[in-house]
Amino acid sequence: MMVSITGDAGEPAAAPRGGRARTGSWPAAVPLLAFTALAFGIPAVALVLGAFTVRDPQTGVSGFGTSNLVESLRGNYLSTLVSSVQLSAVVALLGAVLGAFLAQAVVTSRFRTLRESVLTASGVLANFGGVPLAFTWVATLGNSGVLTQALGLGEYGWSLYTFWGLVIVYMYFSIPLMVLVMVPAMDGLRPQWREAAGNSGATAWQYWRHVGIPVLAPALLGGTVLLFGSAFAAYATARAMVGSTVPLVTLQIADALTGDVLIGHENIALALSLDMIVVAGLVMAVYLPLQRRSSRWLR
Amino acid sequence: MAAVTPILPTGTADPAAPAPASSPVSRPRRMRLWRGVVLGAAAVYFLVPMAASFWFTVHSEQQGFSLSTYAEILTAEGFAASMLLSLALAAATIVVVLALTLPALLAVRLGAPGLRPVLEVICTIPLVVPPITFVTGISTVLRWGPDYLAATPFWATLIAIQDETFPVVLVLAYVVLALPFVYRSLDAGLRAIDVRTLVEAARNLGASWPHVMFRVVIPNLRSAIASASFLALALVLGEYTVAALLGYQTFPVWIVTISGANGRLSVAVSILSLLTTWLLLLILSGAGAKRKDSQ
C-alpha cells in the first residue's frame, strides 16, 4: 500500500511508511526521557554517591567508603530496618489472607451491586493511605478515641501507638489492595473447573488444593509482595500516628534527614535509603515475573 | 460431602437460591454462611472507623452534638493557603505529566515500539522506590547545591525552584510519582482506540501535527485523560512525605500541623478529604462505565 504524505516529507515524525516502523516518531518521547533523567536520575545518583561518601569528623575531608552503609546495618539503625521488615511482613501476610477471603466472598456472591460497590470502595480505600487514615484511626482507637472511651479499652492497657496498632491501621489499605489484585484472578477460575473436579469426585478441599490455589498462586504471591512493598514504604501514616514510638526505617530516615543525627553522620539517611531501595527492589523483582505469570490465566 | 455440589441442579435442592444464570451450581448453605461472616466482618472493620471518627468530630462531652468543627475548617488559620498551594501544585503536575507522557505514548504506538520497555521501566520505578528515599535524594541534591554550584548559573535555578510561594521542586517530584498512574490510564485509553488509523487519516488529509494532537487524538482520549488527571490530583492532594521533608506547607502537612492544637479539626478535615477522594473516584468509575456502555 502506498501512502504518500505530501508537503512535509522532511519532518522526522512523518517519515514514509517503510522507514517508520523503527524510526520516525521517537523524538516525541525525548522530553519524558530527559525529564526523568533530570528529576529522578540526578537525585538517584546523588543518593548513591552520598551513601558512599564519608566525611572524616576530625579533618573534614570527604572520601569514598562504605562506613555509612556498614553503620546503617548495625545497632539501632539495623533494628529499625528489621522492625520495618517485620511490620511489612505481618501486614502482607495478614492482608493477603484476609483480602483473599474477602475477594472470594465478593466473587462468589450473586449480588452485582455488592460486587460493584466493594470494588469501588476497594479502589478508594487502597489509595486511602497517608495522613487522613492515621487521624481516622486516632479518632476511633487512639487514647481518647471514640471506641477506646466507649469500651473502656484504656483499662486493659490498649494502645494504638504500637506495632500491632500499626498493623490494624495498615490493614485498612492493604486488604482493599489485595481485593483489587485477587478479584480479576478469581474471576479467571472457571466454574467448569470446579464442576469437573466435583464430577470426578474431588472434595472442596481437594479442588482448592489441586486446582484453585495453584491457579491463584501467582496472584496471591504477587499481591502479598505488593502489600509488603506498600507497607514498607509507608511513612505519612506512621508519622502522623505514632510519631517515633514504633521504630521504623522510614521514620528513622526522616529524623536523620531533618538533622537529628551526630555530626559526621549526615549521610546515614542516604545509606538507610539505599538499604530500603535494595529491599524494595528485591521485593519487586519477585513481583513482576509473578504478575506476568498470573496474567496468563486471566484471558 | 456437603461441599460437593450436585451435578444436576434440580431446583428443589435449595429453594432460597434459585439457580443463578452465571453459575449453574447452587451453592451449599455453609458456604453462604461463611460468606456472610466474611462480608459482615469486613463491613464492621471498614465502616466503624468512619462512623467513629465522624462521631468524634460532632460530639463532645461539654457541648453535645454540634457541627461547628466543620464550620471552623474554612476559617482555620493556614487552611486556605495550604489548600491553594496544593491545588496549584496539582494543576501544574497534571499539565506537565500529560504533556510529557502523551507524546511519548503516541510515539510508542505510532513508530517506535522499541521504546515501550524503556517507558515501562521508567513508569514502574516510582512504584518500587519508596517516596522517602526519593526525597532523601532530592534533598541531597539541594543540600549539595551551595558546595558545587555556587558559581554557576545552575545555582540561581536551584534557588528558584525552591521558592516558598510555588515550589517547582515539588512539581518535579510529583510528576515522577504520578508517572505510573498516568501512564497506565493513558495506555488503557490508547488501547481502546485505533490511534494509528486516526493519525494517518488526519495526516493524509493534510492536518498538521498540533492539529492532529488537539483535534483528533486528545478528544478521543478524553476519558483516559480525565482519569489520569483525577489520579494525579488525588495523589498531589494527599502527598505528605515529600512536602513535609522538604519543608513546604501543603494541605496534608497542614493537617498534621494543626492536629497538635486542634485534634477534632484535623479529624474533620481528614473525613472531608476522604469524601472528596471518594467522590473523585466515583465520578471516574462512572465515566469509565459510560464509556464501556457506549462501545
DSSP codes of every residue in chain B? -TTSPPSS--SSS-TTSPPPSS-SSPPPHHHHHHHHHHHHHHHHHHHHHHHHHHHHHHEETTTEE--HHHHHHHHSTTHHHHHHHHHHHHHHHHHHHHHHHHHHHHHHHHT-GGGHHHHHHHTTHHHHS-HHHHHHHHHHHHHHHHHHHTTSHHHHHHHHTT-SSS-HHHHHHHHHHHHHHHHHHHHHHHHHS-HHHHHHHHHHTT--HHHIIIIIIHHHTHHHHHHHHHHHHHHHHH--HHHHHHT---HHHHHHHHHTT-HHHHHHHHHHHHHHHHHHHHHHHHHHHHHHHH-
Q: How many CA atoms lie within 13 A of B136 on its CB side?
A: 35
The residues, any chain, with a CB within 8 Å of residue A232's CB and separated by 6 or more, are A84, A85, A88, A276, A279, A280, A283, B130
- Provide the pLDDT for residue B2: 39
With a pLDDT cut of 70, the percent of chain A lying above it is 84
CB contact under 8 A, A276 and B130: yes
Q: How confident is the model at residue B88 (pLDDT cuts 50, 70, 90)?
A: very high
Answer yes or no: is pLDDT of B228 > 80: yes
Give domain status of residue B43, yes or no. Answer: no
State the average pLDDT over residues A9-36.
61
Q: How confident is the model at residue A26 (pLDDT cuts 50, 70, 90)?
A: confident
With H, G, I as helix, E, B as strand and everything else as coil, classify residue A161: coil
Query: Whole-angstrom Cα distance, residue A147 to residue A120?
Result: 27
Q: Whole-prediction pTM value? A: 0.81
Give domain status of residue B169, yes or no. Answer: yes
Q: Which of A5, A32, A98, A101 to mutate to test the interface with B (most CBs of B within 10 A)?
A: A32
Query: Whole-angstrom Cα distance, residue A142 to residue A138?
Result: 4
State the average pLDDT over residues B215-239.
86
State the average pLDDT over residues B278-283.
76
Ranges A50-64, A94-108, B232-246: which has the least confidence: A50-64
Give domain status of residue B37, yes or no. Answer: no
Return the number of other C-beta atoms located less than 10 Å from residue A296's C-beta: 10
Q: Residue B155's domain is classified under what CATH number?
A: 1.10.3720.10
CB contact under 8 A, A127 and B238: yes
State the average pLDDT over residues B125-149.
82
State the average pLDDT over residues A9-25.
45
Query: Whole-angstrom Cα distance, residue B98 to residue B108?
Result: 15
Answer yes or no: is pLDDT of B95 > 90: yes
Query: Whole-angstrom Cα distance, residue B26 to residue B2?
Result: 12
Which residues of chain B does A40 touch, with a Cβ-Cβ cutoff of 8 Å? 125-126, 134, 176
Name the residue among A14, A147, A250 with its Cβ closest to that of B52.
Answer: A147
Taking a contact as any Cβ pair under 8 Å apart, which residues of chain B between 131 and 190 contact chain A?
131-141, 144, 172-173, 175-176, 179
Span B16-39, pLDDT tens digits: 444 444 444 445 677 788 888 888
Q: In terms of pLDDT, which residue wins out, A6 or B194?
A: B194
State the average pLDDT over residues A71-81.
82
CA torsion B114→B119→B120→B124, rounded to 10°? 160
Give domain status of residue B59, yes or no. Answer: no
| b/e code A173-183 from CB counts within 10 Å (16+ = b) | bbbbbbbbbbb
Q: Which of A6, A40, A80, A180 to mutate to test the interface with B (most CBs of B within 10 A)?
A: A40
**Element (DSSP H or E) covering residue A54:** strand A53-55
Give domain status of residue B118, yes or no. Answer: yes
Q: How confident is the model at residue B285 (pLDDT cuts 50, 70, 90)?
A: low
Give domain status of residue B158, yes or no. Answer: yes
Cell of B194: 485505533
Give domain status of residue B129, yes or no. Answer: yes
- Between the CA of residue A26 and those of A31, A33, A135, B110, what are the distances in Å? 10, 11, 47, 9
Q: What are the two backbone dihedrals, phi and then psi, of residue B59, each rounded to the nearest 5 degrees?
A: -125, 135
Q: Which domains does chain A have, with CATH numbers?
A: 20-64 (no CATH), 67-298 (1.10.3720.10)
- Provide the pLDDT for residue B19: 41
What are the residues facing A54 on neighbouring strands? Answer: A63
Please tell me which of A50-64, B91-105, B115-129 the model is most confident about, judged by mean pLDDT.
B91-105
Mean pLDDT, all residues of chain A: 79
- Provide the pLDDT for residue B257: 86
Q: How confident is the model at residue B67 (pLDDT cuts 50, 70, 90)?
A: confident
With H, G, I as helix, E, B as strand and everything else as coil, classify residue A63: strand
How many structural domains does chain B have?
1
Span A127-179, pLDDT tens digits: 777 888 888 888 888 877 788 777 877 777 788 888 888 899 999 989 998 99
Give domain status of residue B151, yes or no. Answer: yes
DSSP state of A234: -
Which residues of chain A does B209 touch, with a Cβ-Cβ cutoff of 8 Å? 11, 13-14
Measured in angstroms, the CA of B281 and the nearest CA of chain A are apart by 7
Contact A95, A171 (CB under 8 A): yes
Q: Which of A11, A35, A288 to mutate to test the interface with B (most CBs of B within 10 A)?
A: A35
Query: Whole-angstrom Cα distance, residue A292 to residue B46?
Result: 31
Answer yes or no: is pLDDT of A105 > 60: yes
With H, G, I as helix, E, B as strand and everything else as coil, classify residue A48: helix
Per the document, the length of chain A is 299
With a pLDDT cut of 90, the percent of chain A lying above it is 7
Answer yes or no: is pLDDT of A239 > 80: yes
Which residues of chain A does B202 touch, with a Cβ-Cβ cutoff of 8 Å? none
DSSP state of A235: -
Ranges A248-257, B134-143, B155-164, B225-234: which has the least confidence: B155-164
- Provide the pLDDT for residue A90: 94
Span A191-225, pLDDT tens digits: 888 888 888 888 888 888 888 888 888 888 888 88
Q: How many CA atoms lie within 13 A of A173 on its CB side?
A: 25
The interface predicted TM-score (ipTM) is: 0.79
Q: Which residue segment(s) compose the domain that B110 sits in?
A: 76-294
Measured in angstroms, the CA of A264 and the nearest CA of chain B are apart by 15
Contact B187, B105 (CB under 8 A): yes
Query: Whole-angstrom Cα distance, residue B146 to residue B156?
Result: 11
CB contact under 8 A, A203 and B130: no
CB contact under 8 A, B49 and A13: no
Name the residue among B39, B52, B103 with its Cβ closest to that of A145.
Answer: B52
Mean pLDDT, all residues of chain B: 80
Measured in angstroms, the CA of B122 and the nearest CA of chain A are apart by 8
State the average pLDDT over residues A115-120.
82
Measured in angstroms, the CA of A107 and the nearest CA of chain B are apart by 10
CB contact under 8 A, B110 and A109: no
- Provide the pLDDT for residue A261: 62
Taking a contact as any Cβ pair under 8 Å apart, which residues of chain B between 217 and 276 contact chain A?
234, 238-241, 244-245, 252, 255-256, 259, 263, 266-267, 269-271, 273-274
- Report the residue of chain B nearest A283, measured CA to CA: B128
